[in-house]
Homo-oligomer: A and B are copies of this chain.
Amino acid sequence: MRKLPESVAGLGPLRKHEATGRTSGTSKLLSGIDAAISACGLKNGDTISFHHHLRNGDAVLNTVVAALARRGLKDLHLAVSSIFPVHAPLVDHIRNGTVTRISASFIAGPVGEAVSRGALHQPVILRSHGGRARALDTGDLPVDVAFVAASAADELGNLSGRIGHSPFGTMGYPLADVESARHVVAVTDSVVPYPAVPIDIPQHKVDFVAPVDSIGDAAGIASGTTRPAADSVSLGIAERTAAVIAASGLLVEGFSFQTGAGGISLATAAAVGQEMTQRGISGSFASGGITGFHVEMLRAGLFRNLMDVQCFDLDAVRSYQSDPRHQSMSAAAYAGPHVGGAVVDRLSAVVLGAAEVDLDFNVNVTTRADGLIIGGAGGHSDTAQGARLTLITTRLTAAGHAKIVPEVGTLTTPGETVDAVITEAGIAVNPLREDLRDRLETAGLPVLSIQDMQARASEAASHPPARRSTGRVVAVSEYRDGSVTDVIRQVEED
């Protein structure tokens, strides 16, 4: 051993090196989920997180929660980015006490109904995508174990969403989870030879790799919300929305754009693209959940880049696999309100859907007319606050219910961040945006007051206005900054 002084002036006592051996051939590969649960020391009451990049094709959440239930774990807090109909088995795990708390950005399907009916004693916390990233980063949402579905992983935990049996594309949501989770477990059905290039989450962020038979069905990615509208009413709204953007003064070189995944929003993307082509405009980026429509716009030269937090369909996955202009982004970069400027803050325009809009331009994308939870903010309130122009598109009615209402059932996105609402009845401009109303009127577009629009919706509705529940609070809707925009109350069985 080398002779060293006991201490050094300016540094104090020295910790002398002692032989430590070699570190060759380390591996994080375990036998499966059970081994990972043991390795993390998961216990009753812990918080576990999941992402929803496999959307309605995801098998990982169900597989892991079933394993936790088999081990008799109780009182777990499920911190998931989104819950889909495929996660219906979770209802049983709520009933048997395995899961007693849920945080999510979006809940659709049987779990949403079960929560609305009061299955959980603890209120669900619904956060926007950016709000969830903020909560993870600030410690408001401490995660014990993040289970990260990966379409491929190597033995040291490099994760890819681009290779393996079921590639699903970018990994924007878990990129936020792995930054703060106490343990990170990769779950994959494709353990590939080291290194799993192209890497979406690097090995130093991952503690264990748990192989499973199947992470799910990548075909399930293109689920419900991502079909473009085809009916004439929706297409009319989409064309009108494109006309609003055209008249707004924002459709110039460098234009940036996001649409929600709703049918009208996607149809609007096509119409905006046509207008850009006519004007010879080249945009900077399209962002969000990315679809084949956005990929076509990229390829047509309408945008320089796609900023992709999640691939919404397999065309988007294929583009991300092969096109370096198709850029991944984390949920924090996408929409975090705490990062000094997120991608959403650079949007020229965003086109979003709505379950309901009210006279204050508040938007509900969380509950249905009957009060049941059918979604959540996702990126809705994030993009609405960040974009220069926030447009809400919707039909006047759905299933006989008015969608323009005196007061929304749940306030998801504050009206102060909404510039206009576009329906088949015309365009209602937020009084905060007189400049926009003037532009639209000059362009000859059909502007009407939100009051008139609400009256038209009320006339067109076949159902009377819904009575709001007065039951106990089963969920709260958090804004990006963690403040509460609304509470959601229990709905009794019909």
Contact = CB atoms under 8 A, between A and B. Distances in A.
Nearest to A285: B195
Interface stretch (A7-15, A87-95, A222-230): A7-15
A476 B11 contact: yes
Interface residues of A, number: 85
A400 B123 CA distance: 77
B25 A388 contact: yes
Interface string A1-23: 01011001111001111111111
Copies in the complex: 2
A154 to B, nearest CB: 9
A202 B486 contact: no
Interface in A441-494: 472-473, 476, 479, 481-487
Given A195-B285, A330-B202, A473-B5, A26 B483 contact: no
A15 B386 contact: no
Interface in A206-263: 207, 254, 256
A387 interface: yes
A316 B476 CA distance: 52
- Where chain A touches its partner, the secondary structure class is loop
A472 B284 contact: no
A28 B342 CA distance: 11
Nearest to A328: B199
Contacts of A479: 17, 20
A142 interface: no
Question: Top 5 closest A-B pairs, CB basis?
Answer: A26-B341, A204-B339, A17-B483, A26-B345, A204-B332
Nearest to A18: B483
Given A122-B10, A193-B254, A197-B325, A22 B417 contact: yes
Contacts of A171: none
